[in-house]
Amino acid sequence: SGPSLAVVGVTGAVGQEFLSVLSDRDFPYRSIKMLASKRSAGKEFSFQDKTYTIEELTENSFDDVDIALFSAGGSISKKYGPIAVDKGTVVVDNSSAFRMVENVPLVIPEVNPEAMSGIKLGTGKGALIANPNCSTIICLMAATPLHRRAKVTRMVVSTYQAASGAGAAAMEELELQTREVLEGKPPTCNIFNQQYAFNLFSHNAPIVSNGYNEEEMKLVKETRKIWNDKDVRVTATCIRVPVMRAHAESVNLQFENPLDEETAKNILSNAPGVVVIDDRASNHFPTPLEVSNKDDVAVGRIRRDVSQDGNYGLDIFVCGDQIRKGAALNAIQIAEMLL
Ligand code: A2P
């Protein structure tokens, strides 16, 4: 028993993680449709002791699907999301296609579960729910508990983003390039058009008219929507680093009300989905490797911002698994709230 599910983009990095998370969390379901492109259709694989055949995503894929988890890119979501909704399916979409659409809830379950309170299963009515950008989720998991206490008025984010955000092919290319460089060969640059191994570069998202890239503007706009706060000032610089699957972010926070270091540390230690790694004596703080394949977002380097008077500013360093909490886990927590 349980809902009938569909996974759209099941062969991708996030698609595969959807399955691991469903399994890890014993998510109840009566069936799962495994959907991908024509290229993958017909391939078989086993999941939870059952053999599944990948089906090609078509307009008829959503008959009798209660919940569809989408992660096949924005254009696939734009085309097939509304088709699924018309069939009565609740779509949890990992792409950016609907995030900023009014009336589409943009949800981090630990942060703003109330945004999706109007959506119910079993009413025959479909709906869209958007999963925020991975950098936004990881940042707000740490910033929100502090925001609730002292109200963030301004946030400056610098990201160190993993390959996984660009999909399974980007992860493979990072590994391949690393081997090639060590062997003295020219690196294969199909995904990013430049050397990634032993390098870092500005995020590959397109640059928009104000000079920011789209990834940076997602942090700005999505934070305002998720916090339901049009006035919060956010700026970001997003960088790709040669790390496989977890993002790191330096976050500077400015508050309306005072918040000292110790109180902030206590708040974060008690925040759901957050773990504090902040051992100054042994210089041990969060790393991407330490949070890889983990559910929790790790926070450390919690310290008073010396550039601001009093206790009105804090610096923190956050790491989170981009494929898990940044994508698949967050989407499945959303689906759990529908049950
Ligand atoms: P496929 O493997 O059949 O191409 P990633 O984010 O890791 O790059 O994965 C992208 C996912 O989106 C893959 O599962 C991929 O399936 C899927 N996908 C890409 N194009 C389509 C399409 N036209 N129809 C359905 N799924 C698609």
Q: Which amino acids are annotated catalytic?
A: 134, 247
- Tell how far the Cα of 178 is from the centroid of ligand 1, in angstroms: 25
Question: Is 126 near ligand 1, meaning CB less than 6 Å away?
Answer: no
Candidate of 37, 79, 95 to mutate for ligand 1, largest count of ligand atoms within 8 Å of Cβ: 37
From CA 219, how far away is CA 256, in angstroms rounded? 20
* Rounded Cα distance, 336 and 339, in Å: 5
Asked whether 248 lines ligand 1 (CB < 6 A), one says no
Instruction: Output the tens digit of pLDDT for each of the chain's 339 residues.
Output: 899 999 999 999 999 999 999 999 999 999 999 999 999 999 999 999 999 999 999 999 999 999 999 999 999 999 999 999 999 999 999 999 999 999 999 999 999 999 999 999 989 999 999 999 999 999 999 999 999 999 999 999 999 999 999 999 999 999 999 999 999 999 999 999 999 999 999 999 999 999 999 999 999 999 999 999 999 999 999 999 999 999 999 999 999 999 999 999 999 999 999 999 999 999 999 999 999 999 999 999 999 999 999 999 999 999 999 999 999 999 999 999 999
207 lines ligand 1 (CB under 6 A): no
Of 7, 8, 10, 11, best ligand 1 pocket probe by most atoms within 8 Å of the beta carbon? 11
Question: Which pLDDT score is estimated for 155?
Answer: 98
Distance, in Å, from the CA atom of 98 to the CA atom of 93, rounded to the nearest integer, reads 8
What are the residues whose beta carbons fall under 8 Å from the beta carbon of 266, sequence distance 6 or more? none
Give the count of beta carbons closer than 10 Å to the beta carbon of residue 335: 26
- Ramachandran class of 182: left when φ > 0, alpha when ψ lies in -120 to 50, beta otherwise: alpha
Closest approach atom of ligand 1 to CA 169: 8
Determine whether the shortest distance from the Cβ of 39 to ligand 1 is under 6 A: yes
The strand pairing partners of 92, in sequence order, are 69, 129
- ipTM of the assembly? 0.99
User: Which residues, including other chains, have CB under 8 Å from residue 127's CB and lie 6 or more apart?
Assistant: 85, 90, 91, 119
Measured from the CB, is residue 165 less than 6 Å from ligand 1? no
- Write down all domains in the chain, each with its CATH number in brackets: 4-131+327-338 (3.40.50.720), 135-322 (3.30.360.10)
* Closest of 186, 146, 184 to residue 313, by C-alpha: 146
Atom index in ligand 1 nearest the CA of residue 13 equals: 7
Are 16 and 94 within 8 A, CB to CB? no
**Ligand 1 nearest-atom number relative to CA 15:** 14
Instruction: Quote the ligand 1 centre to 143 CA distance (angstroms).
Output: 32
